[in-house]
Structure 1
Amino acid sequence: MWTQRLMWIAWPAFLMAGIMEMAVFAFVDPEALQWFDQPVSLSRQGVYTVAFFVFWVVIMASSALTTLLSMSPFEVNRCPVPEGERPLDCAKFVL
């Protein structure tokens, strides 16, 4: 179940990071970028790579939050311990 959810998060984020990369760098020249009034010391490919991974992580965080908010209360409150071994403060819901 968690592997499936991870793919729901990672794969669409990967595709959107690629699209965002193309959209941003259609208008921005990587060699013209500056960081604290200093030129970025990375090559064009380095800027493309770093930007892609930053876009991917940000979009994955957004997708993960969406996936988390789509979980039912029973999934969130479910106790992973078998019923006979549960501590007193463990949720009483069983799926």
Structure 2
Amino acid sequence: MLILWPSFLVAAATSAAVFALVDPLDITFLGHIHASRQQVYAGGFFFFWLMAAVSSALTLHLAPRGRLLDEFGDPINE
């Protein structure tokens, strides 16, 4: 949930901002494939959610980790 919830909120805000400026009916895929508004809204939301989740996961992966301590507060040697 550390990754999915924040990325869901970012995807919702990004979808609202993008689709306030872009009409989904003006978008064509591969030059000739047209999709309905709901398909573009859903696809865009899930794309933004995936991108935000990847960004959050990468940030969590690259974040420095603290020292591992046992239940007595002593450092654990790995």
TM-score past 0.5 threshold: yes
Structure 1 residue 38, shift from structure 2 partner: 1.3
The residue type equivalent to 2:7 in the other structure is A
State TM-score, norm by structure 2. 0.79
Structure 1 residue 72, shift from structure 2 partner: 1.8
Tell me the number of residue pairs that the alignment of Structure 1 and Structure 2 aligns. 70
Q: Identity of counterpart residues, as a percentage?
A: 41
Structure 1 residue 73, shift from structure 2 partner: 7.6
Unaligned 5+ residue runs, structure 2? 69-76
**Aligned pair 1:49/2:42, yes or no?**
yes
Runs of 4+ in 1 over 4 A off after TM superposition: none
CA contact (8 A) 1:31 1:44 kept: yes
Unaligned 5+ residue runs, structure 1? 1-6, 76-91
**Aligned pair 1:10/2:4, yes or no?**
yes
The residue type equivalent to 2:17 in the other structure is A
State TM-score, norm by structure 1. 0.66
Answer with 1 or 2: which has the greater Rg: 1
